[in-house]
Amino acid sequence: MELSSFSSLVHHSSLISDNISFSSSISPFPLQISLKTPKLPKPTSQNLRISAVAIEPQEQPQNSPQRLLKELDERKRATSPRQKVPPRRFILRPPLDDKRLADRFLKSPQLSLKSFPLLSSCLPSTRLNNADKTWMDEYLLEAKQALGYSLDPSENLGDDNPAKHFDTLLYLAFQHPACERTKARHVRSGHSRLLFLGQYVLELAFAEYFLQRYPRESPAPMRERVYNLIGKRNLPKWIKAARLQNLVFPYDDMDRLTRKEREPPVKSVFWALFGAIYLCFGLPEVYRVLFEVFGMDPEDEECQPKLRRQLEDVDYVSVEFEGNKLSWQDVAAYKPPEDALFAHPRLFRACVPPGMHRFRGNLWDFDSRSQVMQILGYPLAVKDRIPEITEARNIELGLGLQLCFLHPSKHKFEHPRFCYERLEYVGQKIQDLVMAERLLMKHLDAPGLWLQEKHRRILMNKFCGRYLREKNLHRSIIFSEQVQDAYEHNRRLRNPATTAVQQALHGLAYTVYGKPDVRRLMLQHHPHHHQQQQQQPPRVLALPLRVLFVCGLLALRAPFAHPPILRTPCPAFNLTVSPSHDIFDKSERRINLGEISTPQLMSKARVYADVNVLRPKDYWDYESLTVQWGDQDDYEVVRKVGRGKYSEVFEGINVNTNERCIIKILKPVKKKKIKREIKILQNLCGGPNVVKLLDIVRDQHSKTPSLIFEYVNSTDFKVLYPTLTDYDIRYYIYELLKALDYCHSQGIMHRDVKPHNVMIDHELRKLRLIDWGLAEFYHPGKEYNVRVASRYFKGPELLVDLQDYDYSLDMWSLGCMFAGMIFRKEPFFYGHDNHDQLVKIAKVLGTDELNAYLNKYHLELDPQLDALVGRHSRKPWSKFVNPDNQHLISPEAIDFLDKLLRYDHQDRLTAREAMAHPYFSQVRAAESSRMRTQ
C-alpha cells in the first residue's frame, strides 16, 4: 500500500443561491428550500498561524518529506508564544508479555504479516485511493511526529512490512465519522474495527496500571479513575495536549461544536488510535503514548474517585501450608528460572499479596485442589510434604485458587474478598480483549458496531460460567454440600458467583502465565468434557429418541389447537387434568380450557379500570374505523423539524388560512396501528394539554397518510430544562398531569411519555403532550406488548415482562422525567440496553424491593438478567443533590418523586392523586386565583 505516495487533492466548489421547489421521495408535499454557498472548513485551527513558504517544485517535489518537514518547522515558529504546552512525563512501562512482540516489530524491517493475523485483520481488504482520503498527506507526518515515531519515508519498504502498514492503520484511526467524503465501506469498517479493539486495550492497560499503582484500593474507585481519565470531560483536553486536534477535527475551533457532534467522534478516534498502536507495537507502546505524548496524570484532582476504600494493615509476612510455615524469602529460594511468579512480580503481587490465604473459613474444599488444578490444566507435582515450587505451585502458594473460588454471597472477610475482586477486575478486562481479538480474526468483513454487539452477547451467554459447569467445578466453589445444593436450585444466587469465579480465574491465569493461557481457558475445550460425552453409551439415548419419534407422529395426527396466551415465566401456573375427562375434547376438536386451572387476574388498574368496558364498542374498536381523508393540497411543507421511528415531522403551512401547522408523515406501518392513533386522537380531541388533530390527508399516488396537528413553538428540552426555575418545573409537571389524567379517564394509556414528546412554548407557558402512536386502550386483564416506551423511561413492569400493566406505566415515565429535571441529570436512568436499564434502576432503588415485586406477581427474571442485576442496597435521594441542583430540591419534591418511582406499579400515585400532592400547592393556589379573577 503506497500511502506516502498519495497526492493531496482539494476540490473547491461553489453553489449559487437559488430557491428550489420540488416534491421529495420522503415528503409528498411541495418543499421550499434555499441553498446557500457552503463554507469549507479550514485545515488548521486558530492556534496555528500558517506562513507561506516559497519552495521551487523542481527542487523539492510536492510529496517530499523534506518539504513537509520544512513546512512543519515554519508552523512551529509561527505558533503563538502565549500557548504553553502541558508537561509530559513518562510514568510506567511495565514488563508485560507483549514486549517480545514489540521487539520483533522494531528489529525486523521485513517482517511478514502472515505471522500476525490480528494485524492484517484490521487492514482494509482493498487498497486505499485518493478519493478515500479525508485528511492531508502532511498530517500523516505531523501525527507521526507528535506521537514520537520515525518520519522516514516508507517507499523502500516492502508491502508486507509492519512499519509501512502502521501508516495505513494510523490513517484509518483518524477517520472522522462526521466528515467522511466517501461511503467506501472498507475504510469506515477499518476505522470501526480499530476502535472496537482499542477500547478493550485501554481498559486493560489502565486496569494493570492502577492495580500496580494503588495496591490497597478496590476496583470500584479504579473504574472511576478510568472513566475520569478517558471520559467526556478530559478527552478533548488530551487531544489538544498532544496537538492532534487538527487531525481529529476539520473545524477551526472544536469548542464550538455541540456535545452530540463532538464527543462520540473524539472517543472513536482516541480508541482507534490505541488499537493501531497495540497492533503494531504492543502494550508497552500504549503506555508510552498515554503518559508521554498525551501527558495523562493519574494524580490530577479531576481524576480522583469520590470514594476510596482503603484496607487496614494485615500481616502478610509469611505463608502457611500443610503445617509448614515458610517466609516469603524461603519461597523465593525455591524459584526456578521459568518461575512466572517472579517474572511478573508487579501485577501478580498486586492482585495476590503473599500470605493472604492464611485467613480462617475457607469456602471450598482445600483437599480437592489437586483435582481442580488438573482439570484446569495445571498439573501439580508433589515431592514429600512440600510440593515442588513450579509455576503451577505458585498459583497455590500465592493464594490464587483459594481467592478465585471465594463465593461473594458467603464470604465475610474483608481482605481476601478484596483481593478476589482485584483478580476478578483484571480477569474481566483480559477476557474482553481476548474475545475481541478472536472476533476480529474470525469476522474479517464485519464492522465494529456489529462486533461490539456480538462481543457482548457471547460473553454474557456463552462464556458465563461455561467451563465451570462443563468441568463440574461447582462442588469446589462452596465448601458445604448442603449450601451447594441450595445454590443448585437457586439460579439467582448461583449465576453471579459463577461469572465472578470465572473472571477471577482469567485474572489469575493472566497474571501468572499471560494472555495465551487465558486464550486457552476461553477458547479450547478441555478433554474431560469430551470424554464424558464419548463415555455415554448410545443405548441411553435410544429410548428417549424413540419416545420423541412416537410423540412426533402423535403430534402430526393430533388436531391443531391455539394455546391460551400466558405471561412467561409464570411459575404459579399448573396443569390439573380431571380424571373423568380427557384434556382434548374430541367433540370440540380443541383444548378444553375448562379442564385447566388458570391463574387468577394478577393486576388491575386502581382507577378508570372499567372505562372501556362501560362504553360502546365503537369507542375503542379502532379496527372498524373509517377514515375521512382531507385535501393534501391545502398544506405545504416549510422545513423538517424532526423524525421518529414511525414518522417524519415537518413544519407546514395551511395555504388557505396561512396558519402554521405540524405535518406528521407516517412511515409504512400496519393500517391497524394508523387507525389506532387516529381513533385515540379523535377521542381525546379538546382535552387539556393534548395536541389537537386538525386534519388527516393522504397522497393520491403513494397512499402515504399524514396527520396535521396544531403548531407549538417549542424549545428543545436540552436547552430549556437547565433554565427552568423551581416554580416552572412545578407548573409544567402539573400541566402534564392534567393531560395524563384526562387520557387515563378516557381509558387510554400513552405508553411513551418522555421529554421529546412534551412540547413546551415557554413564552406562552403552553404545554402539549404529543406522539400518540404507541397509545392503547386499557382493558382489565388484557396482556399488552412490553416493547413500548423509550428505554430510559421504561417502567420495571416492561423490563421484567409483566404484560398486564395499566395507566401506572405513564406515571413511572413521568417520574423519570421529573427526576431528570430536578436533579439536572438527563436521562436519570441511563441504561445501554433493556437489561442494563433494569440494572441502573436496581442500583438506585435497591434489589430488595425488586425481589418483593417479583414475588408478589409470581415473576422470575431471566438468568442472564438476574446475573447482571446482582444485589444492591437502596440509594437515598440525597446522594443526587449537588450545588447545581440544590435550589430545585425540597422535601415535598423528594416525597413526590419517591411516590412515583416505585417498583410495584399499584403503589405509584395516579395522575389525579399526583395533582393533589403538596408539591403543587403553589400551582393550585395560583390557578384558583386566576380562575377567580376571570
CA pair distance 866, 492, nearest whole angstrom: 6
Residue 613: φ, ψ to 5° = -70, -40
Cβ 411 vs Cβ 497: under 8 Å: no
Cβ 218 vs Cβ 351: under 8 Å: no
Amino acid symbol at 226: V
Choose among 142, 135, 177: nearest CA to 41. 135
CA pair distance 885, 195, nearest whole angstrom: 36
Please give the full DSSP string across 171-221, using - where no structure is assigned: HHHT--GGG-S---HHHHHHHHHHHHHHHHHHHHHHHHHHHHH-TTB-HHH
Q: Map residue 392 onto helix, strand or coil.
A: helix
Choose among 720, 911, 901: nearest CA to 824. 720
Choose among 473, 470, 471, 469: nearest CA to 491. 469
HEC string of 128-185 equals: CCHHHCCCCHHHHHHHHHHHCCCCCCCCCCCCCCHHHHHHHHHHHHCCCHHHCCCCCH
Helix %, strand %, coil % of the chain (to 5): 50, 10, 40
Cβ 487 vs Cβ 493: under 8 Å: yes
Count the Cβ atoms, other than its own, within 10 Å of residue 335.
13
Cite the DSSP H helix spans in 1-127.
65-78, 99-107, 117-121
Cβ 660 vs Cβ 679: under 8 Å: no
| Known active-site residue 752 | yes
Q: How far apart are the first and last CA of the chain?
A: 79
* Catalytic residue from among 132, 167, 741, 752: 752
664 marked ligand binding residue:
yes
Cite the DSSP H helix spans in 319-413.
328-333, 340-343, 345-351, 369-376, 391-397, 400-404
Amino acid symbol at 449: L
Alpha carbons within 13 A on the beta-carbon side of 216: 5
Cβ 846 vs Cβ 898: under 8 Å: no
What grid cell was written down for 486? 441450595
Catalytic (active-site) positions: 752
Query: Which segments are annotated as binding site for ATP?
Result: 664
